[in-house]
Structures are given as C-alpha cells and as structure tokens.
A = this chain, B = another copy of it.
C-alpha cells in the first residue's frame, strides 16, 4: 500500500505575497528520502457557473484576460470570497458579471484546477432559470455578456472556442441537463 503522504514538509515560510495570492516555500522530504523545495501558490478557491435561461440558452462572458493579453470566451467565474461559501460566491459572480439570478443551483464538480503548483479547488455549478439584469463588473474587468443556444455552447466547448479550460469542462458536464435538440433529432419520441 502506498504511503498516505509520501512527500512531507520539513519547514515552511512565505516567500512572496500580494493581496490575491501568495507563494509558500516548503522544504520537503522526497519519496526517495532526499530533501527538496516546493513553492506552493496559496490562493482562494474559485467558482464557475453554467447559467441556463428559461429558454434554454447559456450565458457566456467575453472577458479580457490580462495574463494572456487575450479576449476569452468563458463562463461567469471568480474567487471564493472571504466569509462566503463556494455556492454564495458563484451566486455573487453571476450577479456581478451578468446581473443574473437563478432559482436552482446544482454542484456539477469539485476538482483541483492547478494542482501542480497551487492549492486552488474549483467548484463548478449549474444555475437554472436564470434571469439577467444589469451587470456590475469590477473596475479591473473588461467583459460583455452573451446568450447562445445550448447546442452552440457545447459546439464551442468541443471546438476549442471556449478557451478557458474549466469553463469548457463545466459546459460538457452540464450537457445531460441541457436542451440541445438531440432528442428531437433522434426522431420518434
């Protein structure tokens, strides 16, 4: 049986920090018995929402991501704020980025999003019966709100046009809950 924790910390210090994340530098015991260093990005968890309107459309965000210097198609997403649960944070992001509210929320997945260097867990939600209102993005954000059919959102996810990986994952996980027209095409039901 494998060791529960084959890599263990020997000591730890904060190597660098900013208001959004920090780097923790651990001296570690390696599986082969040697010593090493692991620099871990400590960051709050993050949330993504697949917002579905009563008409079955998906709400997508066109967002300028400064680290990439690119416009990215993605879902409403953001960090888990201090004092809020992941669900409350997802509800807040939907409200801020799209002015949206939903009557039903379902957790699709909890998974690590950067497990090579970071502590972040991603929480992916399906939000249904979404009504859109006035978005209130933060001053650091440049984005616009769009509605597309569920079939088109899934096509974009598979074609690489949703260039945020976790957004693409959330859309594919939501597929069983979406009206994609497949049942109609299938014929006689």
Contact = CB atoms under 8 A, between A and B. Distances in A.
Interface string A106-134: 00011111111111001000000000000
Contacts of A55: none
A123 to B, nearest CB: 11
A187 interface: no
Contacts of A72: 112, 115
20 contacts: A2-B62, A3-B142, A5-B69, A7-B64, A7-B140, A16-B23, A18-B39, A21-B39, A38-B140, A67-B116, A72-B115, A77-B116, A109-B168, A110-B160, A111-B160, A111-B162, A112-B163, A112-B165, A113-B113, A169-B172
B112 A34 contact: no
Given A31-B141, A163-B111, A6 B64 contact: yes
A114 B114 contact: yes
A41 interface: yes
Copies assembled: 2
A30 interface: yes
Contacts of A79: 116
Contact of A7 (B36, B142, B165, B166): B142
A8 B34 CA distance: 44
